[in-house]
Amino acid sequence: MDRRLAAYAVCIEDGRVLLALAVGPGGERTWTLPGGGVEHAEDPYDAVIREVAEETGLEAVVERLLGVDSRVVPAGERRRPGAPELQNIGVFYRVRVTGGRLRPEPNGDTAASVWTPSAEVAGLRRSSLVDVGLALARTLPPSGHVAPVPVGGLIEH
């Protein structure tokens, strides 16, 4: 089994959420939260700020830790054919934009980043991470945990 530690930004302003359009190896496009893998010896707190800057061009500060999500992606549902199952451990932070200018990620997997009205999110092809992050931001559970989001239809791993 592969294991990945990642940090994700939940940024909500004026009824809109900041989303990133991730492009997979086969060209598939999925909306997700800005964020990604924590590098060797990197603190997830620092990783989320770095990832927001890399993927969106925006500068941000962490306002609070929202929670942690752990999911297993079966081998047959991985984007890389032949890869083993993956445990993704995601650390979710509420962030606030402090500067910068929205832009696509140069030489990366993020084709675009946009402010999306919260009411429109349910109609997008998206990663379940979006739903987890928004549920954490909406409910602020003391445990830092929300129920798993079922995958299917417009919701993907």
- Counting every residue written for the chain, the total comes to 157
Cα–Cα distance, 156 to 31 (Å, whole number): 10
As given in the structure block, the two tokens for residue 18 are 């900041």
Radius of gyration of the chain measured on its C-alpha atoms: 15
pTM for this prediction: 0.95
DSSP-assigned letters across all residues of 95-113? EEEEEE---PPTTSSEEEE
- pLDDT value at position 28? 87
What is the token pair recorded at 120? 């429109």
Distances (CA, A) of 56 to 3, 85, 150: 25, 29, 27
Mean pLDDT of 76-97: 93
pLDDT digits over 96-110, tens only?
Answer: 999 999 999 988 889
pLDDT tens, 24-67? 878 889 999 999 999 999 999 999 999 999 999 999 999 999 99
CB atoms inside a 10 Å sphere around CB 1: 9
